[in-house]
Structure 1
């Protein structure tokens, strides 16, 4: 089997209901859909999401079609790690991190989808899954919501069967965070996990100050308290706080996680499929974290659920509210694994 063609479709449109975190407004629905065809008639697809900047999906499409695709047409699509290394070498001079990594990730995911479809099995079976359901929480607490809106959406998440919720912090003074956290806690109850996410908004001293308060409010973890590349800051913060530091969604490639994990700067590792390098890289990051006894929770859901099924240190898949069409129901606060071939997910 050989790769014969790689095609791309692009969508970029305004989001009907923009959402806000501590540093940005996510006001767009942008997607770059990559399809890999073979001479056996089997195809694999992946979809890369952009929440900001209208031109980003089209720029990624050009990187894939004009730079990455010509290098791998004619290759055996089952040699996924070999293709990854070839594309890393190709992009090394310009810098593999950034949109080059997005492109490599898109191809990696499409290759896994293709492999699963060629064997007529879901990818989680190819990875050696050790579970058939994944514990899940709902990321619903965006900052554009007032306290009443926050309470309403948190109650909805619990009604749908989620184990807990995550909410954004850092958009205003600490007292505002406290008010909002207490409101959500009152809705979800004393035992449900409540995570807080600052999206890199703080410098070290403010992260330490707020982290001590989030601890007192019994938050499950403190996500992205500092700029993503500040490994030293994460290590210092983890030494001072009992609340686990969750981070990783804005780090590129396995190497960017090595020192962070080894030095104890992360309590919950959270790679993002697009930035980390695709399914292959996220699986390897997760196994590295397991070697250090660090749990793994995805940034986002979708295809990531296949990785989570296979990792021994998985604790959560991140989700929004369940789709209104009822096509998926949680089982004891867990997502059931999709049964379709390739990288099918309940979000498809």
Structure 2
């Protein structure tokens, strides 16, 4: 039986001198986590994880609230076949937590959960995608995953030239599809930015746009009328993520795909979205991120609810832009995943060991997630 000896967390800054329509990332932080475990033979193994990007650090919550629940438990409460089971660890962390008000706790638990899955796959001596496939998907997995490069933020200087160069760099790395921000400038200026993206990518079908919930209902409809004839890959989070009535109105008025879900942090919120948000299973994209939403166990429940509700798991493209979600997409055979190849270092991107070929990628075939293939991230984890 394996015993978890320590769970350590620290806050790191992200390298982010840019903004979207609603948030400047200049002061953004995140929590990195290490779980140290010792087996019966006395050998130690460590799993690493972090809270997904965009919600600041939850370090004190991890240290004071959730790690003690695991460390105070008997190893028999969380071991399965001799290994710490992330599903059981997740249950321990959520013990005595009230329903609703998911907020920051879902991110704190998601960070520990990510580290727990890294540890689990390392102990199994498998890449994480294979551990997930074997346990939850009948051993089936995709040989490669559809990925798109997310970027196109607003910069203070050299906006258009910098945007074009950024997107050209993504295409040179092997990406086909890109995503840029809208809503942080006038409609006229953002349409010019979209034109740059289309010209660079070669087709509007290779360009998605993301408003980060910037608009109210009427303004979102106004923008939808300007975007509709462009036939973009998708129009993402035009309104507040919990404004289901506005999504319903947009779904009735806007023909091309909509995308949302990254800021829904629980199964119940996703159920409400598909019940009341008017989204269309034949075209719309769902972007729930386990690193923000309690981890893999909640994500599995979300996939079940979606499929029960008439959705395909291929409609899912998680937010987060990291290596963990590449494993998730490959092992659970969902639609694909976002990548941050040029932003949000050291958490974003897949690292140099993952090659992008014609817009597709495969997770590294090393035990665990493969964080050790990202030296900049491991430098942040060393103090743990």
Work out whether the TM-score is over 0.5: yes
Aligned to 1:68: 66
- Residue 146 of structure 2 corresponds to residue 135 of structure 1: yes
Offset, 1:328: 3.1
**SS state at 1:24 partner:** coil
Deviations 1:297-319, CA, capped at 9 Å, x for gaps: 11022211121113344144333
Aligned to 2:297: 280
- Residue 87 of structure 2 corresponds to residue 81 of structure 1: yes
1:87-236 pair list within 5 angstroms: 87-92=93-98, 97-128=102-133, 129-144=140-155, 146-190=159-203, 192-236=205-249
**Structure 1 length as normaliser, TM-score?**
0.89
RMSD of aligned C-alpha atoms? Answer: 2.5
Q: How far apart are the structure 1 equivalents of 2:256 and 2:297?
A: 30
Moved more, 201-210 or 330-339: 330-339
Aligned to 2:380: none
Q: Which runs of 5+ in 2 are unaligned?
A: 134-139, 343-347, 378-384
Question: In the alignment, which of 237, 248, 255 is matched to residue 268 of structure 2?
Answer: 255
CA contact (8 A) 1:228 1:247 kept: yes
Deviations 1:201-257, CA, capped at 9 Å, x for gaps: 001111111112222122110111111111222122112211211111111111110
- Residue 297 of structure 2 corresponds to residue 308 of structure 1: no
Moved more, 324-333 or 176-185: 324-333
**SS state at 1:89 partner:** coil
Aligned length: 341
C-alpha change, 1:287 and 1:14, in structure 2 (3 Å) is closer
Question: In the alignment, which of 317, 322, 329 is matched to residue 297 of structure 1?
Answer: 317
CA contact (8 A) 2:210 2:235 kept: yes
**Structure 2 length as normaliser, TM-score?**
0.81
- Larger strand proportion, structure 1 or 2? 1
Q: How far apart are the structure 1 equivalents of 2:54 and 2:303?
A: 25
Moved more, 121-130 or 28-37: 28-37
Aligned to 1:342: 368
**SS state at 2:248 partner:** helix
Offset, 1:118: 0.8
**SS state at 2:32 partner:** strand
**SS state at 2:146 partner:** strand
Q: How far apart are the structure 1 equivalents of 2:204 and 2:185?
A: 26
Q: How far apart are the structure 1 equivalents of 2:247 and 2:256?
A: 12
Q: How far apart are the structure 1 equivalents of 2:354 and 2:85?
A: 33
Moved more, 323-332 or 259-268: 323-332
Moved more, 225-234 or 162-171: 225-234
Offset, 1:196: 0.2
Aligned to 1:265: 279
Moved more, 194-203 or 232-241: 232-241
Q: How far apart are the structure 1 equivalents of 2:106 and 2:90?
A: 10
Q: How far apart are the structure 2 equivalents of 1:323 and 1:248?
A: 20
CA contact (8 A) 1:253 1:275 kept: no
C-alpha change, 1:51 and 1:251, in structure 2 (3 Å) is closer
Runs of 4+, deviation exceeding 4 Å? 49-52, 322-326, 345-348
CA contact (8 A) 2:204 2:231 kept: no
Offset, 1:287: 4.1
Offset, 1:8: 2.0
Q: How far apart are the structure 1 equivalents of 2:54 and 2:214?
A: 18
